[in-house]
Structure 1
């Protein structure tokens, strides 16, 4: 039986994204042409229109429309080389302009002008907006991750807790962690394994001011879901500091290193 690959793009948070990691992933998608692509939320960052910036200077430092232009161009780069279906699940950051308008200018909110599907031109790019908890494969549902409360510091365990609640295997973003956490439930012939699959992030951590030079338990990477007729297998892919990664024995976006493991070549300074 044939198995189809679904590539799951985690939190990009444009313009705070890792440009090399994103470029390498776009190249992988263009080269392999997977059966489908799922953007699982927080593709945009939208720092300014949020409760964190309300009433501060940061509220006026960015432009939602200009930021959307850049995000739309990044999606356009993906669509230019990929002919298959692209689906998009809204994250809490993607919803910030819509939520901000609804709270502080409700008379303007009904236009839908600040919904992510409008800002990023899903119609023009042929991108389908999915609702949370949509079944994406046999026994699997997708969510961004903010829809149900509760976060674990252990990679994979947040998604595993959602899987227990929903009695379905769960793939999600939001945590910026990249891991699979399985749980076997039931007795006898009714035993089955549920998977919690967190698909990492594609941010440049140095751009995240809220980390303030600290270290977060995050893992850069993305997800692959290998979908068969009756089940699906999760396959996390981890990215290195230089934004490169390996899938099926092929490295995408490799930068040469010397014998001590240090970056060399024209991108060495920025990569290190």
Structure 2
């Protein structure tokens, strides 16, 4: 069976076409589960980078949450299976901001991401970090344990060493599988660090205008059997389409005049 791992979307900085294509893939294939690995929202206004700048006052957490909720509603409308959510550091920005700057109000859960996005109504379950999501696999966003590596996959590999199990994570915006073989003799086994990329529209992130970052757009698949799971990265191309099992989702075709147009069903043969 398949678990689709949704990477950092960071609404409203998301690649809307890529997200729409991924939702279509989920609606068509009906996987056994969907795991949103964190930073589904960006919430720039209450971030530490915006503190004491105009940006702190320009954003609207509730308005942005309505947009994020609408995006999740689109997913849920075509998929009735389990959706699980790991809270990322960006998702937690409103609640963290409240605790830091208005501690007298911090007892309310009104600014927790599951409340802001209506998880109860949508049937979405929040997972604590390091929850087992497949045999031998734990999920985390990535900020819970310190340390980042510039090489795709190696941050997750470091988490594998700390947790002594295979790890699927977001946070780095990199898309790669990094194996780690541990133990000796009959106890020898291979564990995997799996980073699942991102679904941002990089042009929307002003902080990227100064240079190039080693990010990869895509998402993850965990192909689960009784005792193990195989990690499969799926790369999203420049036109926001991707190929899974020989089928391209979100293809762009040329019309009779030579102009690029999208197929209405968002799917074509690879």
* Residue 228 of structure 2 corresponds to residue 231 of structure 1: yes
Secondary structure in 1 matching 2:43:
coil
Partner Cα separation in structure 2 for residue 220 and residue 264 of structure 1: 25
Partner residue of 2:151? 154
Deviations 1:168-197 (A, max 9, x none): 000000000000000111111110001000
1:244 is aligned to 2:241: yes
1:180–1:197 Cα contact (<8 Å) kept: yes
The equivalent position to 2:58 in structure 1, one of 50, 56, 61, is 61
Partners of 1:43 and 1:250 lie apart in 2 by 26
CA contact (8 A) 1:41 1:174 kept: yes
Matches of 1:160 and 1:139 in 2, distance apart?
14
**CA deviations over 1:46-77 (Å, ceiling 9, x no partner):** 00001111110010111000000000000000
Task: Name the residue aligned to 2:35.
Answer: 38
8 Å Cα contact 2:254-2:261 kept in structure 1: no
Q: Following TM superposition, where does structure 1 have runs of at least 4 consecutive aligned residues deviating by more than 6 angstroms? A: none
Q: So what's the TM-score if we normalise by structure 1?
A: 0.94
| Structure 2 equivalent of residue 265 of structure 1 | 260
TM-score, reference length from structure 2: 0.94
2:23 to 16, 21, 26: 26
| Structure 1 position 164 matched with structure 2 position 158 | no
C-alpha contact 1:185 1:194 (8 A) present in aligned 2:
yes
Deviations 1:213-240 (A, max 9, x none): 5211000000000011100000000000
Match of 1:108 in 2: 105
Kindly provide the CA deviation profile for residues 113-158 of structure 1, in whole angstroms up to 9, marking residues without a partner as x: 0000100000000000000000111111000000001100100000
Partner of 1:74: 71
Unaligned runs of 5+ in 2: 263-270
Matches within 5 A, 1:140-219: 140-219=137-216
Distance 1:222 1:75 in 2: 16
Given that 2:92 and 2:113 are in contact with CA atoms closer than 8 Å, whether structure 1 keeps it comes out as yes
> Counterpart in 2 of 1:15?
12
1:133 has 2:130 as partner: yes
Asked if structure 1 preserves the Cα contact closer than 8 Å seen for 2:153 and 2:195, the reply is yes
Contact 1:145 1:175 in 2 (8 A): yes
Gaps of 5+ in 1: 268-272
Deviations 1:62-93 (A, max 9, x none): 10000000000000000000010000000000
Q: Assess if the C-alpha contact under 8 Å between 1:206 and 1:213 holds in 2.
A: no
Q: Is the 8 A contact 2:253 2:261 kept in 1?
A: no
